[in-house]
Amino acid sequence: MLDFQIKEQSTEYDVVIIGSGAGGGMAAYELTKAGAKVCVLEAGQYYDPADPKYITQLKAPWESPRRGASSTRAFGDFDAAYGGWDIDGEPYTTTKGTQFHWFRSRMLGGRTNHWGRISLRFGPDDFKRKSIDGLGDDWPIGYDDIKPYYDYVDKLIGVFGTNEGMHNNPDGYFLPPPKQRLHELMLQRSNKKLGIPTIPSRLSILTKPVNKERGQCFYCSQCSRACQAYADFSSSSVLMIPAMKTGNCHLITYAMAREVLTDPTTGLATGVSYVDTQTMTEKVVKGKVVILAASAGETARLLLNSKSARFPNGLANSSGIVGRYINDSTGASRAGIIPALFDRKRYNEDGVGGMHVYTPWWLDNKKLDFPRGYHIEYGGGMGMPAYGFGWGIEGINEKYPTREGIKKAAGGYGASLKEDYRRFYGAYIHMAGRGEPVPDYNNYCEIDPNVVDKYGIPVLRFNYNWSDYEIKQAKHMQDTFEQIIHEIGGVPLGGKPDAKSNYGLAEPGKIIHEVGTARMGNDPKTSVLNSNCQAHDVKNLFVADAAPFVSQGDKNATWTILALSARTSNYIIEQKKKGSL
Amino acid sequence: MKKRDFLKNIGLSSLGLAVVSQDALAGEMLDGPKPKPKAAAAPTTTPKYNYGRTKDEMARDAKLLAEKFYTDHEMKTITVLSDIIIPADKFSGSASQAGVPAFIEFITKDKPEFKTPMRGGLRWLDSTAIKRFGKDFVACTAKEQINIVDDIAYPEQAKKEFSQGVNFFTLMRNLTASGFYSSEMGHKDMDYQGNRPNNWEGVPDDVLKQYGLSYS
């Protein structure tokens, strides 16, 4: 026992959920709708995208003294993520010679408040990679097992897109996609010549209303600021707030989970101990079922920190697999400038928050020197000028003569320089590959034996290296990006990333798609959870974030987190009804 | 305003207008513990910037805003330089008219990596002016100022001996552009038409035609 006073609540909840992001939000929503009494612990503060005191949406850059610069928020002053890769007093470490960056949002809804809303289903192949090429592992479930839940999530939350009949990029229940922006039409035209498919993106943004609680997109392009009309998917607005409205959900904010508590006799989870970060007191909340949904990293940390005589290696870790196989999406990017877009006509081109078209993986890895695919996300257009606007013009303006054919020297000043800023506005495109890594036993997170955070909770230490599989994939991305930029009539900016920089492959964690730290499987010796995301070792302990992922596909994780969480929640409800929980 | 009322009021017409009074927000802590009566009685001031800040961010901004980094002389130099970089023209006003010097003062405190390059760069400029014209940069005539600026404004053509000045001027140019185009005046100059509720119906027909594109 901890040697200071612990305040224990007398209430025993049906379910205690740690984390209020996509996974925790969906579990809270499903379980409270089913009548369960649920307590949700959120490490950060309350947040509601519609409450004026939190709103950054539609604010102009001059309302910020730093004009939207990223001094305090990693993605800029208006971004709806309280937290980031570095949080004061909440460190993590890496083993020597390895790198990992861990992004955390401390707020109701977690990272869903600012995410890209890219809502891709995994395809049938994504669950069976080992069967296809012998690398990695198969999931214990297949596409058909999760499909009904993807369908449910599509209809409940809303996603736009188009049914294309692609085998590994499955169709869904889509709202109409927004029309392409100018550079997106140009990309579709030029990519077609390269045989690179460029189709409407699939984003959880409401181009049509789905219910009376949520509004419709009004095309401000600012989903990263979270939508005051609830027209995009944030767990705060779409799941947590409705769950609280049932009257069955008790949300505790500023609750930093320390350990999952267990009964030494039965080995079952009995609740969660946490630090009330406002008063710095230790508290306990009791529950008949515990669901971990505080992110793949926090789930591993909690399990490994929940040690007892019965569970000396940490909870649900008889396999020793907790923390193993952590993997983030690969990411590499490139930008270009399109002279045909110089001096372009102005109109409001904000559109939705993010790209209107994307490129799903289109090649056969059997014919390539790397085993997994990637998709391409595109950016560009006449976005809102803010901090950083025009930065680096001294590398651009000498290269392109004016309409009148006047060649200028790099840099400069005065009215002529103002002309340059106007000329180049909206003429840039950029693209980013997001790919699938091969999960590796030797990439892991563990408890650092020497370091605690400001709450006294031992912190994670990461050990992560990219392999040739990912590096070769990044090389392919860079070759493809140059082809795309050339074909559209553009000029790539900066040097082409080469072997020295792993072809621009982002350091692990930078893409913020970390998954796989408590993977599912049929064999309790090689997995932490069974096919229902239930711990092999502790039957009333479940995981509803991305920790159960066996692999992550070349898709973003959120839609699968939501579908799996809904599936796990329904399993819990069924088991409760049967009396087996 | 209650959350429900706010939601009800959301619509294309009212969005962005549904705002509670700044006074009501003043000093309000974001979801913190309810202030005790004693604390509530303490005088509160309306933060100058109030756009969805967390408690920690508000405190950090207040601290930075209360500090002064540049001397009056440095601020004068920054003002002159920023107006050389972005002067008024037939489309818009100058950098100083758009508040760029105050932005540079803030961002230098906000991103301390700018402190030494800016302070040192301003000194480099003055020492160059004194060597060349026997007075500091702001005391120089416009013609004399441009004589120095021309040596450092063109990175590809500048003589090697001016390389430190070139680096400083490049930073000044980039900060000035950032400050100017992120201002209301800058948005109007760029004719940026977004950041408002609208209904995206695609690229205008004349633009599609110009680029030989269509939606069909």
Is B57 near chain A, with CB under 8 Å?
yes
In tens, the pLDDT along A42-95 reads 999 999 999 999 999 999 999 999 999 999 999 999 999 999 999 999 999 999
With a CB-CB cutoff of 8 Å, which residues 173-212 of chain B face chain A?
173-174, 177-179, 181-184, 186-187, 189-204, 206-208, 210-211
Q: Is residue A62 part of a domain?
A: no
Residues in chain B with CB shorter than 8 Å from the CB of A381 are none
Q: Do B200 and A179 touch (CB under 8 A)?
A: yes
Query: Nearest-CA neighbor of B168 among B190, B148, B145, B152?
Result: B152
Q: Is residue A255 part of a domain?
A: yes
In tens, the pLDDT along A417-444 reads 999 999 999 999 999 999 999 999 999 9
**What does the pLDDT average to over A127-153?**
98
> Pick from B12, B15, B193: which is nearest to A348 by CB?
B193
Q: Is residue A166 part of a domain?
A: no
For residue A164, the distance in angstroms to the closest alpha carbon of chain B comes to 17
In tens, the pLDDT along A388-405 reads 999 999 999 999 998 888
Q: Which domain, by its residues, includes A257? A: 1-51+104-160+203-329+440-447+517-581
Q: Do B31 and A253 touch (CB under 8 A)?
A: yes
> Strands A458-463 and A93-94: what pairing?
parallel
* H or E element that contains A17: strand A6-18
Token reading at A93: 């470490």
Q: Choose the mutation target among A418, A422, A424 for the interface with B, i.e. most B CBs under 10 Å.
A: A418
The pLDDT score that the predictor gives to residue B43 is 45
**DSSP single-letter state for residue B113:** G
Q: Can you tell me the distance from the alpha carbon of A571 to that of A573, in angstroms, rounded to the nearest whole number?
A: 5
Residues in chain A with CB shorter than 8 Å from the CB of B154 are 409-412
Q: Do B156 and A352 touch (CB under 8 A)?
A: no
Beta carbons within 8 Å of A91's beta carbon, 6+ residues apart: A451, A453, A459
The pLDDT score that the predictor gives to residue A133 is 94
Percentage of chain A exceeding pLDDT 70: 99
Is A423 near chain B, with CB under 8 Å?
no
Q: Do A391 and B192 touch (CB under 8 A)?
A: no
For chain A, the first-to-last Cα distance in angstroms comes to 27
Is A408 near chain B, with CB under 8 Å?
no
Q: Can you tell me the distance from the alpha carbon of A109 to that of A45, in angstroms, rounded to the nearest whole number?
A: 10
Q: What is the CATH number of the domain that holds A564?
A: 3.50.50.60
Is B26 near chain A, with CB under 8 Å?
no
Residues in chain B with CB shorter than 8 Å from the CB of A351 are 200
With a CB-CB cutoff of 8 Å, which residues 343-362 of chain A face chain B?
344-352
Answer yes or no: are the C-beta atoms of B156 and B149 closer than 8 Å.
Answer: no
The pLDDT score that the predictor gives to residue B7 is 35
Q: Is residue A110 part of a domain?
A: yes
Answer yes or no: are the C-beta atoms of B164 and B156 closer than 8 Å.
Answer: no
Environment class of residue B13 by beta-carbon count within 10 Å: exposed (0-12), middle (13-18) or buried (19+)?
A: exposed
Q: Do B173 and A387 touch (CB under 8 A)?
A: no
Query: Nearest-CA neighbor of A180 among A162, A196, A200, A206?
Result: A200
Is B114 near chain A, with CB under 8 Å?
no
**What is the tally of helices (H) and strands (E) in chain A?**
10, 18
Does residue A164 surpass a pLDDT of 80? Answer: yes
In tens, the pLDDT along A488-542 reads 999 999 999 999 999 999 999 999 999 999 999 999 999 999 999 999 999 999 9
Q: Is residue A429 part of a domain?
A: no
Is B138 near chain A, with CB under 8 Å?
no
Residues in chain B with CB shorter than 8 Å from the CB of A47 are 31
Q: Choose the mutation target among A114, A240, A345, A413 for the interface with B, i.e. most B CBs under 10 Å.
A: A413
Token reading at B11: 């619509």
Token reading at A463: 């050990």
Nearest CA in chain B to A345: B207
Q: Is residue A269 part of a domain?
A: yes
- H/E/C letters for each residue in A228-241? CCCCECCHHHHHHH
Q: Is residue A383 part of a domain?
A: no
Residues in chain A with CB shorter than 8 Å from the CB of B202 are 179-180
> Pick from B11, B12, B54: which is nearest to A82 by CB?
B54
Phi, psi of B156 (to 5 degrees): -75, -25
Residues in chain A with CB shorter than 8 Å from the CB of B178 are 67, 387-391
Answer yes or no: are the C-beta atoms of A67 and A75 closer than 8 Å.
Answer: no
Residues in chain B with CB shorter than 8 Å from the CB of A60 are 184, 187, 195
For residue A195, the distance in angstroms to the closest alpha carbon of chain B comes to 19
> Pick from B49, B179, B194: which is nearest to A350 by CB?
B194
Q: Do the interacting molecules here have an ipTM over 0.90?
A: yes
For residue B1, the distance in angstroms to the closest alpha carbon of chain A comes to 9
In tens, the pLDDT along A351-388 reads 999 999 999 999 999 999 999 999 999 999 999 999 99
How many other β-carbons are positioned within 10 Å of the β-carbon of residue A280?
A: 10
Q: Do B169 and A65 touch (CB under 8 A)?
A: no
> Pick from A65, A344, A410: which is nearest to B49 by CB?
A65
Does residue A413 surpass a pLDDT of 60? Answer: yes
The pLDDT score that the predictor gives to residue A4 is 56
Residue-level pLDDT, tens digit, chain B, 216 residues: 343 333 333 333 333 333 333 333 333 334 444 444 444 444 455 667 889 999 999 999 999 999 999 999 999 999 999 999 999 999 999 999 999 999 999 999 999 999 999 999 999 999 999 999 999 999 999 999 999 999 999 999 999 999 999 999 999 999 999 999 999 999 999 999 999 999 999 999 999 999 999 998
The pLDDT score that the predictor gives to residue B216 is 84
The pLDDT score that the predictor gives to residue A227 is 98
The pLDDT score that the predictor gives to residue B47 is 65
Q: Can you tell me the distance from the alpha carbon of A360 to that of A120, in angstroms, rounded to the nearest whole number?
A: 10
> Pick from A54, A220, A384: which is nearest to B192 by CB?
A384
For residue B144, the distance in angstroms to the closest alpha carbon of chain A comes to 16
The pLDDT score that the predictor gives to residue A39 is 98
> Pick from B6, B170, B186: which is nearest to A411 by CB?
B170
Computed over every residue of chain A, the mean pLDDT equals: 97
Q: Can you tell me the distance from the alpha carbon of A474 to that of A372, in angstroms, rounded to the nearest whole number?
A: 11
Q: Do B52 and A59 touch (CB under 8 A)?
A: yes
Answer yes or no: are the C-beta atoms of A214 and A206 closer than 8 Å.
Answer: yes
In tens, the pLDDT along A268-304 reads 999 999 999 999 999 999 999 999 999 999 999 999 9
Query: What interhelical angle do A558-578 and A22-33 show, nearest 10?
Result: 30
Q: Can you tell me the distance from the alpha carbon of A342 to that of A506, in angstroms, rounded to the nearest whole number?
A: 31
Structural domains of chain A, count: 1
The pLDDT score that the predictor gives to residue B28 is 36
Answer yes or no: are the C-beta atoms of A571 and A34 closer than 8 Å.
Answer: no
Does residue A209 surpass a pLDDT of 80? Answer: yes
Is B48 near chain A, with CB under 8 Å?
yes
In tens, the pLDDT along A233-261 reads 999 999 999 999 999 999 999 999 999 99
Q: Is residue A507 part of a domain?
A: no
With a CB-CB cutoff of 8 Å, which residues 5-24 of chain B face chain A?
6-7, 10-12, 15-16, 18-20
Q: Do A421 and B181 touch (CB under 8 A)?
A: yes
Environment class of residue A559 by beta-carbon count within 10 Å: exposed (0-12), middle (13-18) or buried (19+)?
A: buried
Is A58 near chain B, with CB under 8 Å?
yes
In tens, the pLDDT along A310-331 reads 999 999 999 999 999 999 999 9
Token reading at A518: 């408590």
Q: Can you tell me the distance from the alpha carbon of A82 to that of B53, in angstroms, rounded to the nearest whole number?
A: 9
Answer yes or no: are the C-beta atoms of A322 and A303 closer than 8 Å.
Answer: yes
Q: Can you tell me the distance from the alpha carbon of A187 to that of A196, in angstroms, rounded to the nearest whole number?
A: 10
Give the pTM.
0.93
Helices assigned H by DSSP within chain B: 3-9, 22-25, 37-41, 55-66, 72-85, 100-110, 115-133, 142-152, 163-181, 184-190, 205-210
